[in-house]
Every structure is written in C-alpha cells, then in structure tokens.
C-alpha cells in the first residue's frame, strides 16, 4: 500500500538547512494498522504530511499503491488525495458553519457526487459512527468525542483505502479516546482500512498491530504487536522512548 524509498525532508530555516526526515525507507502493507510514536520534534507529523501529500519531500519516492505522489502535479495530487486518503486531526478540523451531515458530505460535494448518493452515503456513515441522532447539529453543539467521530465519518466519505490520523485522541479523555480507538480498530478489521496513526500515547498505540518508533527523523525501531507479547514489546519501546 505504502512504500517510502529513501525519503528525506529538509527545511530551510533562514540560511540553515534542517533535516527532519533522514533517508527513510518503509513498507506498509494494505490493511495494516500502524502507530507512529516518538518524542516531540522527532518528525512524526512531518512524516504523516509527506505520506498524505500535504507536503513534499526534498528527496525520495513515496508510493501509495502504484502512484509516486511527489511526481504528481498539484491538480493531480488534489484529485488523488480526495479519492485515496482520509485525514483525521487532533483538533477535528470540522467546518463550524456546517451541520454534521454537511461536514460528512463535504468531500463528496467537492467531488461532484450526486445529492442522492451523498445522502445515502452520509446515512451509512452516521450510522457507522453512531451519530444518527446528531445529523442536524453543528460542531459546537457536540462533545470532543462526537466531533472526532464526525471527522472520521468525513474521512471515510469517499471510501479511501488509507486513513492518516495525527494524534486523533490527543484532545480526548480516556473514555472518549477509547471509543475513537475502538472505532478505528473496527473499521480496520471490518473494511480492511489501512491506518497510519501518530500518537505519543502508549495506550493508543496498543490498538495498532505495528509500532514504528521515530527518533531524530529516523526509524529507531519497528515492532509488531503479536497477541500476548504486547507487554514485553511495549516495555522495550517505552524504555527506548525514555532513554
């Protein structure tokens, strides 16, 4: 699904180049649920932005399915992103003047999907995220957890094979956070969604099947969480994270 080939990202700060991602290689198979952990400033958000084509690498190739996204024009990239990638952010990024239904339908509206199809799909999605009774509410009338569920429904509107989430539970308490993580886990299992989730929270990371630990723009470890060995793997990771 995803193949990073020698990705580098360098920011110019004044005259000083600052390399945030250092020659990274990575493969993520279709249907995998991956967590990206690492200290603040290690490059997690930058990596996710590169994967989603929201920012472009200084060097290297980023294949999603068969498409090398840095080689696309701006127009092609926008089209590709809308059809293939759903984004979920820590602060939900809902449109405050639109209702739940309008927010969810927004990507379909942008793609010129017919109103009747939008309506059918929106009905499916509100059901999937358990918000049928909130369809005409505005974001300000919802709790944080409900807003995040709307943003997940919106991310899934075009039925993308890949969802990228940056700290999706960062603003939520444990109970609401767990609801969001269970929802992502269910979507991953039921529709085979590929999920890449940045989180600094070890509790959230345990919902994934694989944990990448970033440090100073490099992958420091790449661990699979097999049933039964999580505690051991997590202890090792946390020791590295705190080292």
Whether 151 and 165 have beta carbons less than 8 Å apart is answered as no
Among 6, 11, 27, 59, binds ligand ADP (CB under 6 A): 11
Site for Mg ion in 45-84 (CB under 5 A): 45
Phi, psi of 185 (to 5 degrees): -60, -40
Question: Which of 24, 38, 87, 219 contacts ligand ADP by CB under 6 A?
Answer: 38
What residues form DSSP beta bridges with 36? 198, 212
- 38 or 86: whose CB is closer to Mg ion? 38
Choose, by CB under 6 A, the member of 32, 37, 42, 197 that binds ligand ADP.
Answer: 42
One residue of 14, 15, 16, 40 binding ligand ADP per CB under 6 A: 40
Dihedral angle, C-alpha 151, 156, 162, 167, nearest 10 °: 10
Name which of 46 and 118 has its Cβ closer to ligand ADP: 46
Task: Please report how the helices 115-128 and 144-156 are oriented relative to each other, as an axis angle in degrees rounded to 10.
Answer: 130
Query: Quick one: which of 44, 121, 149, 176 contacts ligand ADP (CB under 6 A)?
Result: 44
Give the pairing of strands 218-224 and 210-215. Answer: antiparallel
Handedness of CA 24, 25, 30, 34 (dihedral sign): negative
Q: Quick check: 46 binds ligand ADP (CB under 6 A)? A: yes
CB of 166 to ligand ADP, least distance (A): 8
State in angstroms the smallest separation of the CB of 166 from Mg ion.
6
Q: Are 157 and 106 in contact (CB under 8 A)?
A: yes
Q: How many of the chain's residues bind ligand ADP (CB under 6 A)?
A: 11
φ, ψ for residue 41, nearest 5 deg: 85, 5
Residues that bind Mg ion (CB under 5 A): 44-45
Residues that bind ligand ADP (CB under 6 A): 11, 13, 20, 38, 40-46
């Amino acid at each position: 699904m995803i193949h990073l080939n020698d990705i580098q990202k360098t920011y110019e700060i004044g005259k000083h180049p600052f390399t945030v991602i250092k020659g990274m290689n990575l493969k993520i198979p279709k249907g995998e649920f991956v967590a990206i952990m690492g200290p603040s400033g290690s490059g997690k958000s930058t990596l996710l932005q590169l994967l989603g084509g929201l920012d472009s690498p200084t060097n290297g190739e980023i294949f999603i399915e068969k498409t090398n996204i840095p080689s696309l024009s701006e127009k092609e990239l926008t089209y590709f992103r809308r059809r293939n990638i759903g984004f979920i952010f820590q602060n939900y990024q809902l449109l405050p003047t639109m209702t739940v239904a309008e927010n969810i339908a927004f990507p379909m509206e942008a793609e010129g999907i017919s109103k009747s199809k939008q309506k059918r799909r929106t009905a499916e999605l509100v059901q999937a995220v358990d918000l049928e009774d909130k369809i005409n509410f505005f974001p300000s009338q919802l709790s944080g957890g409900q807003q995040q569920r709307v943003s997940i429904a919106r991310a899934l509107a075009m039925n993308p094979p890949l969802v990228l989430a940056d700290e999706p539970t960062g603003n939520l308490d444990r109970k609401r956070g767990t609801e969001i993580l269970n929802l992502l886990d269910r979507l991953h299992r039921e529709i085979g969604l590929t999920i890449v989730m940045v989180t600094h929270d070890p509790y959230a990371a345990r919902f994934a099947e694989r944990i990448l630990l970033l440090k100073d723009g490099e992958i420091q470890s790449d661990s699979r969480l097999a049933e039964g060995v999580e505690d051991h793997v997590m202890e090792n990771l946390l020791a590295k994270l705190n080292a």
